[in-house]
């Protein structure tokens, strides 16, 4: 049995929230970018409602990073910092 090694470019994730990752992918397919409501909802689920752990929120953000355009990097980084401080 051959095992495919993960390349150095692939970040190691603990637990990505699949619901949010799928939503990010769908936003990207429809609009070419993640909508701000996605950021706000994820941030609230981590910081206010505690439905998602801080680490899972960070991992989800990192997994969704590929769907963020250059113009949205500032908002992305701001939400990432909010989650990290939670």
- Convert the pLDDT of each residue in 68-82 to its tens digit: 999 999 999 999 999
38 compared with 9, residue with greater pLDDT: 38
3-state helix, strand, coil in the chain (%, to 5): 65, 0, 35
Measured distance CA(36)–CA(55) in Å, rounded = 21
Q: Which residue range(s) make up the domain with 70?
A: 18-85
Q: What's the domain count of the chain?
A: 1
What pTM value is reported for the model?
A: 0.82
68 domain-assigned: yes
4 domain-assigned: no
Q: CA dist 68 to 8, 76, 77, Å?
A: 21, 8, 10
Reported as a pLDDT band with limits 50, 70 and 90, residue 6 is very low
For residue 31, the Cα-to-chain-centroid distance in whole angstroms is 17
Please write the tens of the pLDDT for every residue from 14-63.
Answer: 689 999 999 999 999 999 999 999 999 999 999 999 999 999 999 999 99
Residue 15 has a pLDDT of 87
6 domain-assigned: no
């Amino acid at each position: 049995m051959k095992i495919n090694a993960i390349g150095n470019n692939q970040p190691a994730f603990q637990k990505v929230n699949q619901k949010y990752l799928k939503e990010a992918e769908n936003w990207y397919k429809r609009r070419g970018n993640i909508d701000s409501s996605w950021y706000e909802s994820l941030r609230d689920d981590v910081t206010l409602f505690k439905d998602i752990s801080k680490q899972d929120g960070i991992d989800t953000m990192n997994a969704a990073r590929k769907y963020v355009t250059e113009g949205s990097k500032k908002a992305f980084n701001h939400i990432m910092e909010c989650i990290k401080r939670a």
